[in-house]
Structure 1
Amino acid sequence: MIKKLIVFASILFSIVSWSQENTASPYSYYGLGEIKFKGTEDARSMGGIGIVADSIHFNLLNPASYSKIKFSTFAIGSTSTFSTFETNGNSEKAKRTNLNYLAVGLPIKKFGVSFGLMPYSAVGYKIESNSHNDADNSDRTKISTGNGNINRLFIGSSYAINKKLSFGFNINYNFGVVETEFIETIYAPVELQLRTRERNNSNINGFSFNTGVYYSRNLNQKLKLNSSFVYSPEATLVSENSRNIATIFYNIYGGEIISLPTQDIPVEDQKMKIPAKYTFGSGIGMDKKWFLGAEISFQENSKLRNRFKDISNATFENSTRISLGGYFVPKHDSFSNYFSRVIYRAGFRYENTGLVIRNESINDYGMTFGIGLPVGLSKINLGFEIGKKGTTSQGLVQENYFNLNIGLSLNDLWFRKREIN
């Protein structure tokens, strides 16, 4: 147990140097950024369904599942994303690696307790546009960049009302910093090139809450029905905003020169909404053999707003996500064949993100695959996801991405009373 706590403390300490650039999506420019947490690696490999809960699988998508775990659990997961961004005639590649979650779950008789840290959303983009002014025969370049994220520190509990029904909740503290910069450059036939630079800073924080119900029952001697419901009420985050303006010159021989003193511009703080979300899921299967389920989520994303101002060509609409997925285990108690004990997972998901740009809804599709490698009571979960987000219509960007997900779930009886000392 001491060794596990040392490992946990070391990983938690490393969060201090956690990179903020964990997305490269231009769509992270809007609203709260790109939503990052989509479940543990085993759930993501099944299309993101949060219906499976048992004694060794740590389900962070529904807090009602915490009472199902029977072993003290330490879970950590990360994702490497390989993206290709396409427009009409151009393409760019990007790679990002980020931590998905760091969590601990503890069983206490009919209760289950969990706490941890995860990124809620991320901002990371660089958008460049070019134009020519015939009046003065000058070229203009506009570059927008942004980075940062909103992290989520959570603690939750679950109570098993009986063997079939559990109820749980999470209390979340959301915090983070998002920095954006806008530079417009006028290229004229001189050695000094005029630039205008605007830097914005948003310090975001606030509490949120979600609650869930988990129900399971035997349909017959073999089949079991699992059902899940999670409700996240609307929450308000405070964005403390600041802005700095500067007129700068760029010397093509000596680099950037700030020609005038920078000026701080008063900007109003904003109250930003995390929209209410409802998730329903159900599925059937045989314990330790197979499972197949479906899940649907509705989120009131029409209430989203941008950090500083609304964008003229972008609006928000209510969003929907549909997920299908499941797993198969050839023979969970096989002693002769290790791969017969491996969990094989697959799934599909479709999501209307709620973002509308130039009258085009931004949709996200993904096919998922994965395996769970048993190591005693613990699991090493590997997941693979192939997806597409956005479109090249109306001059927009289409993201084609491949995600490699790796998760570790350590299970043990940390607080077992020893019979012999």
Structure 2
Amino acid sequence: MIKKLVLVFIAAFSVSAYAQEGTASPYSFYGIGSLKFKGTVENRSMGGLSIYTDSIHVNLRNPASYAGKNLEMLNGESRPVKFTVGGSYSSLNLKSDSGSANANATTFDYLAISIPMGKFGFGFGLLPYTSVGYKLESQDSDNNNRVSKRFRGEGGLNKTFIGFGYQLSNSLSLGFDAQYNFGNIQNSTVAFGYDDDGIMTQLQTRENNRSDLSGLNINLGLSYKAMLNENLEFVSGLTYTPKSSLVSNNERSISTIIVSSTGSESVYRTIDADLAASGLDESDLILPSKFSIGAGIGKPRKWFVGVESEFQQTSQFSNELYTSSAVTYENSSRLSLGGFYIPQYNSFTSYFKRAVYRAGLHYENTGLNIENESIKEFGMSFGIGIPVGSFFSNANLGLELGQRGTTNSNLIQENFINFQISLSLNDRWFQKHKFQ
């Protein structure tokens, strides 16, 4: 038991220590960053499906998964305690009408534990929810394409949560998560000046912004599983996250800087802006409500296929501190299709017959609209769950290929490859001792 806990925390620390910014996407410039959390590696390998629940994997998107049936192999007395930790590496090819570039990011994705308590179950954990990480420059096409502005940003929003689930019947479970959101976003904009000969002046102006974010929200979930016959199982689930708000404590300063020939910036003088005078020192950001529903069929411990739809009222989002006439928010949606296949879950002769093979597709309207262009995403994913150790523990590997954005209206198209890895470790804490 102690060895497994140590392994989980060493893995989490190692991934975090190696991590760069959680994203390299230029679209993290907008709002509170790019959505980082899209489920566990198991979810993402099936196109983002979160409706399937079982006794050996943690499902962080539906809190009803904390409850469930006890295992027959444990004489129906309990379910295993489940630990999970995950990380990912993303490689991006950024393409526009004027050229292309490559970027990458490595990050810790989640750390969580789920503990059974009879018909109840609870879980808690930590995960990055959104991420900001961009370095952009705009050029003045009327003046030999010289750089006119430079934009940089980093940070993001994190979540720590505790959730509870309850098994109402053999088929129906429900649950809820209470989530605390926290983090900060830092960005800067340099406006370059030139003399009459087109030579960059010695001193430039940089605007610095920082927003410290915090707030609470909840997530509700329902899971239903029933046998249609002795071989076929019907699985469905839904989640609902009500609208909530974040408090943003804001700071702004204006710096005079010197830009070297290599592009590095050194501060000459800084003046703090008085945001309180304009009522922007503290602002409220809306986290839009979200609803998902899905269903699927399969043969237990053999195969499963399902579909899930997610809808979010992203048009409710607003940020008083950062506004642009070129950017609007519209309601977002996501469609996921995927499943898994296990050749022979109890094979003693073939290691790979016990592996779980996953695949899926997803299509998403992100809710971001720039220059009247809706930013959309499409991806396909593949994965494998490999048995490790004992008691159904496993390592999960995932690969996701996709495209986000467009080159229309001078925007950027991202072609991405995401590699994901997680450990899903199981152990038994609570068991009845029998004496004869």
> What interval of TM-score do these two structures reach, taking the shorter chain for normalisation?
over 0.9
Output the CA distance in 2 between the equivalents of 1:105 and 1:289.
Answer: 24
The aligned counterpart of 1:365 is 378
SS in 2 for 1:262: strand
Of 419, 425, 431, 1:410 maps to 425
Output the CA distance in 2 between the equivalents of 1:255 and 1:23.
Answer: 22
Structure 1 residue 264, shift from structure 2 partner: 3.1
Structure 1 residue 168, shift from structure 2 partner: 0.2
Question: Residue 161 in 1 paired to residue 168 in 2?
Answer: yes
Structure 1 residue 208, shift from structure 2 partner: 0.8
The aligned counterpart of 2:271 is 262
Whether contact under 8 Å (2:4, 2:425) holds in the other structure is: no
Change (3 A) 1:255 1:232: closer
The aligned counterpart of 2:43 is 43
Whether contact under 8 Å (1:299, 1:318) holds in the other structure is: yes
SS in 2 for 1:333: coil
Output the CA distance in 2 between the equivalents of 1:238 and 1:347.
Answer: 37
Structure 1 residue 133, shift from structure 2 partner: 7.0
Whether contact under 8 Å (1:79, 1:406) holds in the other structure is: yes
Output the CA distance in 1 between the equivalents of 2:217 and 2:347.
Answer: 44
Structure 1 residue 246, shift from structure 2 partner: 1.9
Question: Residue 311 in 1 paired to residue 324 in 2?
Answer: yes
Cα-to-partner distance string for 1:134-157 (whole Å, 9 max, x where unaligned): 7xx995520011000110000001
Deviates more, 1:290-299 or 1:64-73: 64-73
Question: Residue 286 in 1 paired to residue 275 in 2?
Answer: no
Question: Residue 379 in 1 paired to residue 394 in 2?
Answer: yes
Of 288, 297, 306, 1:275 maps to 288
Whether contact under 8 Å (1:364, 1:390) holds in the other structure is: yes
Alignment of 1:86-101 (within 5 A): 86-101=95-110
Change (3 A) 1:52 1:256: closer
Output the CA distance in 2 between the equivalents of 1:255 and 1:123.
Answer: 21
Bigger strand share:
1
Structure 1 residue 257, shift from structure 2 partner: 5.6
SS in 2 for 1:91: strand
The aligned counterpart of 2:354 is 341
Structure 1 residue 132, shift from structure 2 partner: 6.5
Amino acid at match of 1:40: T
SS in 1 for 2:352: helix
Output the CA distance in 1 between the equivalents of 2:87 and 2:124.
Answer: 17
Change (3 A) 1:370 1:261: closer
Output the CA distance in 2 between the equivalents of 1:360 and 1:152.
Answer: 30
Of 131, 140, 157, 1:131 maps to 140
The aligned counterpart of 1:173 is 180
Gapped regions of structure 2 (runs ≥ 5): 70-78
Of 210, 226, 229, 1:217 maps to 226
Question: Residue 197 in 1 paired to residue 212 in 2?
Answer: no
Output the CA distance in 2 between the equivalents of 1:374 and 1:296.
Answer: 30
Output the CA distance in 1 between the equivalents of 2:167 and 2:338.
Answer: 26
Output the CA distance in 2 between the equivalents of 1:76 and 1:193.
Answer: 49
Change (3 A) 1:219 1:30: same
Change (3 A) 1:404 1:224: same
Structure 1 residue 248, shift from structure 2 partner: 2.9
The aligned counterpart of 2:413 is 398
Whether contact under 8 Å (1:169, 1:210) holds in the other structure is: yes
Question: Residue 299 in 1 paired to residue 304 in 2?
Answer: no
How many equivalent pairs are there?
418
Amino acid at match of 2:339: G
Amino acid at match of 2:246: L
Structure 1 residue 263, shift from structure 2 partner: 3.2
SS in 2 for 1:339: coil
Structure 1 residue 268, shift from structure 2 partner: 3.1
Whether contact under 8 Å (2:240, 2:289) holds in the other structure is: yes
Structure 1 residue 345, shift from structure 2 partner: 0.7
Question: Residue 118 in 1 paired to residue 131 in 2?
Answer: no
Whether contact under 8 Å (1:192, 1:250) holds in the other structure is: no
Deviates more, 1:274-283 or 1:241-250: 241-250
Cα-to-partner distance string for 1:23-76 (whole Å, 9 max, x where unaligned): 011111111211111111111100000111111122111100111271101100
Deviates more, 1:261-270 or 1:405-414: 261-270
Whether contact under 8 Å (1:229, 1:279) holds in the other structure is: yes
Structure 1 residue 416, shift from structure 2 partner: 3.1
Output the CA distance in 2 between the equivalents of 1:414 and 1:176.
Answer: 34
SS in 1 for 2:192: strand
Whether contact under 8 Å (1:127, 1:144) holds in the other structure is: yes
Amino acid at match of 1:205: S
Whether contact under 8 Å (2:15, 2:108) holds in the other structure is: no
- For the aligned residues, what is the CA RMSD? 2.3
Change (3 A) 1:309 1:286: same
Cα-to-partner distance string for 1:316-353 (whole Å, 9 max, x where unaligned): 00011000000111111111111111111110000000
Alignment of 1:11-30 (within 5 A): 19=19, 21-30=21-30
Amino acid at match of 2:425: L
The aligned counterpart of 2:3 is 3
